[in-house]
Chains A and B, each alone.
Chain A
């Protein structure tokens, strides 16, 4: 059974939410922030980024706070924070599980 998007946050979604912890941002800022955070390991394609922003706005994970010219700036909501924290906890559990298993952490 394939998993549906938003059942769990995908890697890109997780990093987009992470980027908002540095403050309100527009699409270009988010792409740069993720590039900086991951040291260039994760490059999010523009279509993926705008799909995630659209989806997050619909799910009330982020909200638009200003439109300057044709630049839209968003900030994370409490719901977005909660989703981020939940995903972070899940990932921590994954790491802990891997570390507990003998030979699981190389």
Chain B
């Protein structure tokens, strides 16, 4: 067949990159169907084949000493001498795929690449160690990130409520998937190593079709999870579009504002700050959420003057356990916000709600309140000429509103 008429076809590998037996069997079955793997013909798990007359070809995967980088360099190159020896024994180096070099032989009498199972176990054992280290590293890395940084890994209920369940589930799903894959790869190599040490060679004719659907699903999952994360983030970003000024907002307000603290008083909003005087409302699968920002001057009926600031996050969650989780997340988040510096718990008043916490967080008075499946977290300033923050007034009004 002339060069011009050789047809190239591409196939997604139906086995995971650690399934040595499956990949070898698949490549041999492809050759029996007239599809022959081309040199360097692999990209992101997609293999390129030339279509020729079917014939029996043996394919073998052997452990490469150095893993091939994903995009640059050609990885663990064979030395000239190695080329010569492999060729002299009837084997042709084709490409590197993950941790393995792929060889092909068309000679029926070519010796196996690995002629001794115990020696083969040495290289497989090295891979097992490598994947065990990768598993431990990924778990340690995740735990370090969880401990050192804020965000979804450390405050799942807070992120599920505010950013969305999809985003949170996808983030955790992705982590779980990475760990599971590391674990499965480690166990696969351990299984290979045990078999080789018992004197059993790897099987070159396994039924790769049986596990192919599961493998395709496992390959698609990371992409689906990434799409979930991206769409969750996009929907979180679009919530800024819901921001309205207090004057524009016509819906019912389910929490206490300064107007509820000082009914029958004159309130003058202070718009000197960027987002003060606004309300933002949005929904996620687990929560109805509001953010309220208010800065104002109050003159009561008896002439008392107050300067008030209220920054409130209010959530109505789908279940009480979620509300408890959210309350816990808020508290831990605030306690660690400035690495625990200048964070002090203050005595909370006795109010008719399930839970109330009051704390001073870097000079800001915070009230965290939960009743049933509702959670409110607010920074409150209610000052008059005595210069004493009378936040209890808002806490009382909020407790009444919640119950």
Q: Please give the residue numbers on chain A whose beta carbons come within 8 Å of chain B beta carbons, in ascending order.
A: 2-5, 10-13, 26-28, 31, 43-52, 54-55, 69-72
Establish whether residues B81 and A70, one from each chain, have CB atoms under 8 Å apart when the complex forms: yes
What distance in Å separates the Cβ of B76 from its nearest Cβ neighbour in chain A? 12
Contacts A2-B197, A2-B198, A5-B121 hold; do A44 and B115 have CB atoms under 8 A apart? yes
Which chain A residues lie closer than 8 Å to B60 at the CB level? Answer: 47
User: 21 A-B pairs, CB-CB below 8 angstroms?
Assistant: A4-B197, A5-B119, A10-B116, A10-B119, A11-B116, A13-B119, A27-B82, A27-B85, A28-B84, A43-B111, A45-B111, A46-B85, A46-B86, A46-B91, A47-B113, A47-B114, A48-B115, A51-B119, A51-B120, A51-B122, A72-B81
Establish whether residues B81 and A12, one from each chain, have CB atoms under 8 Å apart when the complex forms: no
Flag whether B350 is at the interface (Cβ < 8 A). no
Q: With CB as the reference atom, state the residue of chain A lying closest to B193.
A: A2
Q: With CB as the reference atom, state the residue of chain B lying closest to A45.
A: B115
Query: CA A49 – CA B115 in complex, angstroms?
Result: 9
CB within 8 A of B118: which of A3, A28, A46?
A3
Query: CA A11 – CA B82 in complex, angstroms?
Result: 22
What distance in Å separates the Cβ of A101 from its nearest Cβ neighbour in chain B? 24
Which chain A residues lie closer than 8 Å to B82 at the CB level? Answer: 27, 46, 50
Q: With CB as the reference atom, state the residue of chain A lying closest to B113.
A: A47
Most buried by B among A12, A31, A44, A47: A47
Query: CA A10 – CA B118 in complex, angstroms?
Result: 8
What distance in Å separates the Cβ of A19 from its nearest Cβ neighbour in chain B? 14
Query: CA A47 – CA B20 in complex, angstroms?
Result: 15
Establish whether residues B81 and A26, one from each chain, have CB atoms under 8 Å apart when the complex forms: yes
Establish whether residues B197 and A12, one from each chain, have CB atoms under 8 Å apart when the complex forms: no
Flag whether B194 is at the interface (Cβ < 8 A). yes
